[in-house]
Structure 1
Amino acid sequence: MSRRKSRDQDKILSHPIIIRLTESQYKKLADLWIESDSKSIGDVVRKIISNRPIKILHKDISMNAPMEEMALIRKEIKSIGVNINQQTHSFHISQNPMERNFYSIKTAETYKTIEPKIERLIFLISKLSEKWLQK
């Protein structure tokens, strides 16, 4: 089964061009490719030839630690939420008032453990917003 022909024949990359570069030229091109949003070195070269802009992506490594901490807090809050859902389910299926009282107290204690994590999360977000929303 053959492939369907494209309607716009001008967009098909059908003419290969082979060039030779020095090591330093190739390194510059590879560095540009790694920092850009392009999918391949060929895509970078096509953008250069056609005078299209190349978007350079900059990663701020100073943000790694706060982002990792926020991801960890998110994971902890999610697991606490799962525990609360399980306790709520057990509360609803229990018939004994003593058992229901036990689950309500246990759920209230679980809610208390989530408070410091949310406060830490809000603190981290406020610090990040100060950095990124500077005037």
Structure 2
Amino acid sequence: MTRKKVNDPEDLLSRNLIIRVTENTYNQLEELRKDSKNLSIAAVARKILSGQKINLYHHDVSLNPVMEELALIRKELKAIGVNINQITRSFNQDRTGTSRAYWNCNSILEVFLLSDYFF
């Protein structure tokens, strides 16, 4: 994978730096690379040398079932929304008004039955 082209010559990485590290230091750099989603150990070393922040990411495995459940709920809500849109479209496209009258009668009856006026 090639590097991105840099327009500013000051940002160009033009000097090589070869260093030796102990196995322990190498393992620490490797762990930082894995947790930070950097592509290479050299990128981690460059960030450390330049004093830039290294963002570490942590994946909590205990949240996997919760995330799966939330994904299913989201899918169901989307399906409900699609159904509501289809019903609304059908209701608004009715030219004769028969289904509108049916829905109006049902809603009036439902309000009447749920109200305190029912003896």
- Give the TM interval when normalised to the shorter protein: 0.5 to 0.7
- Structure with larger Rg: 2
Report the AA paired with residue 6 of structure 1. Answer: N
Equivalent residue, structure 1, for 2:89: 89
* Superposed displacement of residue 38, structure 1: 3.3
1:13 aligns with 2:1: no
Q: Secondary structure at the match of 2:29?
A: helix
* Superposed displacement of residue 52, structure 1: 3.2
> Quick one: higher RCO (CA 8 Å, sep 6+), 1 or 2?
1
* Superposed displacement of residue 10, structure 1: 2.3
Report the AA paired with residue 7 of structure 2. Answer: S
Map Cα deviations across residues 5-58 of structure 1 (whole Å, 9 max, x no partner). Answer: 733x22111123345666655443222111015343222010122333322222
Structure 1 unaligned segments of length 5 or more: list them: 106-135
Equivalent residue, structure 1, for 2:67: 67
> Is contact 1:30–1:41 with CA below 8 Å preserved after alignment?
yes
Equivalent residue, structure 1, for 2:43: 43
Which has the larger share of helix? Answer: 1
Query: With structure 2 as the length reference, what TM-score do the two structures score?
Result: 0.63
> Is contact 1:36–1:56 with CA below 8 Å preserved after alignment?
yes
* Superposed displacement of residue 84, structure 1: 0.8
Report the AA paired with residue 53 of structure 2. Answer: P
> Is contact 1:37–1:54 with CA below 8 Å preserved after alignment?
no
* Superposed displacement of residue 76, structure 1: 0.8
State the distance in 2 between where 1:63 and 1:31 align.
22
Q: Secondary structure at the match of 1:6?
A: coil
Equivalent residue, structure 2, for 1:53: 53
> Is contact 1:38–1:44 with CA below 8 Å preserved after alignment?
yes
* Superposed displacement of residue 89, structure 1: 0.6
State the distance in 2 between where 1:5 and 1:85 align.
49
Report the AA paired with residue 36 of structure 2. Answer: S
Please give the root-mean-square deviation of Cα atoms over the aligned residues, in Å.
3.1
